Amino acid sequence: MVLARQVMDEIRSGNPVMDALRKYPLEDGGYLGKYVLVAAYHQMVDAGELRADARLLERIRMKPVRTLSGVTTVTVLTKPYPCPGKCIFCPTDVRMPKSYLPDEPGAMRGLEHDFDPYMQVKSRIQALENLGHPGDKIELLILGGTWSSYRRDYQEWFVKRCFDAMNEFNHSPARTQGLGHEDHEGKRKENTLTPTPLPKLGEGGGGEGNLEEAHALNETAPHRNVGLVVETRPDEITPDELRWLRHLGVTKVQMGAQSLDDRILEMNKRGHDVECTRRATALLRAAGFKIVLHWMPNLLGATPESDREDFERLWQGFCPDEIKIYPNQLLANAELYEYWQRGEFHPYATEQLIDLIADVKPAVPRYCRINRVIRDIPSTNVVDGNRRTSLRQDVFDEMKRRGTTCQCVRCREVRGKPVESSLLELDDLVYQADYAEEHFISFVTPDDKLAGFLRLSLPSKGAPQTGLKDLDGAALIREVHVYGQSLPVGAEKEGAAQHAGLGTRLLEQADLIAKSHGFDRMAVISAVGTRQYYLERGFERGELYLVKNIPSSLSPLLTKHVALTPRGEGVG
């Protein structure tokens, strides 16, 4: 701990973090980890030796980008279970849920904890807090094949145990003497967390109370759930499934569209057609869910030219809020490997992929976020074709060389930059999705960075019937997101977008737009941990959503309106 304090003194005097670490090497070689500096910082603050200094903590925090979107993402994996899909490109490993490999980083954590949801969440929060990241706003990402194919008693137990971990884990391990995984001088220690046993299906178990009680506790818990994400197939989305997902607390759904060409889907034994994906997307939108579509170039039967055409179809009615670009990767434990052996499949070379993605990325509409451009599969598993996991950076470099840019949400996030609220412009980007007029309402900086946004959906006549009474005649708020380094609840930081009242102003603008289109009611698909935020702003509890009547008198805000053509190009 003495060494850590010496390094901290160097940093506080203005020296760069890495220079300070190199000045005080460890006796057996190497240098202190940043997590040790974070622990030293908290101990010095607790002891009264140092005033809390957000800027100092930001300098020593490891990988601040993990929480620069305003929330902390915690990924957990479900246990191995049969998938209804027979896709030829999907790897199979009996140790893992369908499509996952045991040496993928996120999957490794699931396997390490025997797919115990409580332990996965608890250990991940602990690890992130050890690195200096706030853990009070958690987006929970549940992966593992097709969520909807698991038995519902397992699903409910799994989600409940995730909430138990968020509700019960109420301290920051980085501020204790034992850091959980390492001591203060950077030496490894055994993980002392004790996993809870998995229950037998049908028995539930694990923790006291039921899911509703766990939800209620989480509304004011130290680690609040601000988003719950699952992944499933388009042919699993039905009105009954929507109600079930809301019962669990789900707010965002990832689906594998893979391709929007029926010929390609059939050749790859996907098991559903494009119209199924269209229906599922429209149903999810009508129920207020945020929609993430996975798109796979280089499937069997595709060419770079057909993939370019296919990518354009994403913005013709489907209009996902987020996408993941997952180029097909040839793996030995997938059926596609046999096609390759017979000479019937040829993976794109890395240069072809870079060229393809650099071509399509600038066409992504400003309302959509590109989450990934390649899966995190270790190159040792790839038989032929691209093995570079740094494809996103490669594409960025190619676009820079060409002089082109991407305007997706991720590329325009303000992240950790200071925000001057008086200089922000309120922008209303309007586009047509299937059965809904969508408004992407955002606060934009003078250099076109996003400080915050709201997704407002105005259902049109003929919209799919969800059977959810909360939504009858209502406009839908599908997402409110304000950017900047994730800050603890109640904390403030100079120039931080999260604490400039932008969320409230976005809600007011949504009311105004909905009212002008003839809507008298508003519903929001609130995550469990954000319910109090909306309740404090005029919403009331419905059955599965928060709802309110829109005030009759509203004050207009200065807004620039922009409409989009079906391809996502600005026209005014």
Q: Are residues 154 and 246 in the same domain?
A: no
Question: In the numeric block, which tokens belong to residue 282?
Answer: 């429209």
Split into its structural domains, the chain has a count of 4
pLDDT band at 64 (very low <50, low <70, confident <90, very high): very low
Q: How far apart are CA 410 and CA 415, in angstroms?
A: 9
102 assigned to some structural domain: yes
Q: Are residues 376 and 446 in the same domain?
A: no
pLDDT digits (tens, 9 = 90+) for 101-120: 988 877 888 999 999 999 99
Q: How far apart are CA 486 and CA 57, in angstroms?
A: 12
Higher pLDDT, 55 or 402: 402
DSSP category for residue 292: E
Which of 24, 141, 165, 134 lies closest to 76, judged by CA?
141
541 φ, ψ to 5°?
-75, 130
What is the average pLDDT value for the chain, to the nearest integer? 85
Which among 169, 200, 226 is the end of a domain? 226
pLDDT digits (tens, 9 = 90+) for 311-346: 999 999 999 999 999 999 999 999 999 999 999 999
Global pTM?
0.82
Q: Are residues 440 and 379 in the same domain?
A: no
572 assigned to some structural domain: no
511, 555 contact by CB (below 8 A): no
How far, CA to CA in Å, does 310 sit from each of 177, 258, 265, 358, 468?
55, 10, 12, 15, 33
Which of 546, 544, 547 lies closest to 250, judged by CA?
544
Which of 341, 343, 345 lies closest to 329, judged by CA?
345
Q: How far apart are CA 208 and CA 163, in angstroms?
A: 11
Which among 226, 248, 268 is the end of a domain? 226
Q: Are residues 203 and 264 in the same domain?
A: no
Q: Are residues 53 and 75 in the same domain?
A: no
362 assigned to some structural domain: yes
Lowest mean pLDDT of 58-72, 218-232, 294-308, name the range.
58-72
- In this predicted structure, the answer to whether residue 295 has a pLDDT above a threshold of 80 is yes
pLDDT digits (tens, 9 = 90+) for 517-546: 999 999 999 999 999 999 999 999 999 999
183 assigned to some structural domain: yes
What is the predicted pLDDT for the residue at 177? 28
Q: Are residues 354 and 278 in the same domain?
A: yes
571 assigned to some structural domain: no
- In this predicted structure, the answer to whether residue 401 has a pLDDT above a threshold of 80 is yes
Q: Are residues 397 and 432 in the same domain?
A: no
450 assigned to some structural domain: yes
Residues whose CB is less than 8 angstroms from the CB of residue 6 and which lie 6 or more positions away in sequence, other chains included: 24
569 assigned to some structural domain: no
Which of 431, 229, 414 lies closest to 324, judged by CA?
229
567, 368 contact by CB (below 8 A): no
Q: How far apart are CA 553 and CA 30, in angstroms?
A: 64
Which among 168, 197, 226 is the end of a domain? 226
Question: What's the distance, CA 548 to chain centroid?
Answer: 27
Residues whose CB is less than 8 angstroms from the CB of residue 129 and which lie 6 or more positions away in sequence, other chains included: 135, 172, 173, 174
Q: How far apart are CA 283 and CA 462, in angstroms?
A: 11
Question: What SS3 state is found at 425?
Answer: strand
- In this predicted structure, the answer to whether residue 487 has a pLDDT above a threshold of 60 is no
pLDDT band at 249 (very low <50, low <70, confident <90, very high): very high
Q: Are residues 401 and 466 in the same domain?
A: no
Which of 127, 76, 73 lies closest to 100, judged by CA?
76
Question: What SS3 state is found at 204?
Answer: coil
313 assigned to some structural domain: yes
Question: What's the distance, CA 402 to chain centroid?
Answer: 29
Q: Are residues 96 and 168 in the same domain?
A: yes
> Radius of gyration (Cα) for the chain, nearest Å?
24
Residues of the domain holding 20: 2-60
- Neighbour tally for 27: CB within 10 Å: 7
Q: Are residues 206 and 193 in the same domain?
A: yes
What is the predicted pLDDT for the residue at 499? 46
Q: Are residues 495 and 405 in the same domain?
A: no
What is the predicted pLDDT for the residue at 178? 26
Sign of CA dihedral 112, 116, 121, 125: negative
- In this predicted structure, the answer to whether residue 139 has a pLDDT above a threshold of 70 is yes
* Percent share of the chain, pLDDT over 90: 64
2, 36 contact by CB (below 8 A): no
Residues whose CB is less than 8 angstroms from the CB of residue 442 and which lie 6 or more positions away in sequence, other chains included: 426, 427, 429, 450, 451, 452, 453, 454
- Neighbour tally for 214: CB within 10 Å: 25
Q: Are residues 536 and 461 in the same domain?
A: yes
Q: Which CATH number does the domain housing residue 343 bear?
A: 3.30.750.200
Q: Where are the beta strands (DSSP E) in 1-156?
A: 72-77, 137-143
What is the predicted pLDDT for the residue at 312? 98
Q: Which helix (H) or strand (E) holds 430?
A: strand 425-433
Q: Which CATH number does the domain housing residue 452 bear?
A: 3.40.630.30
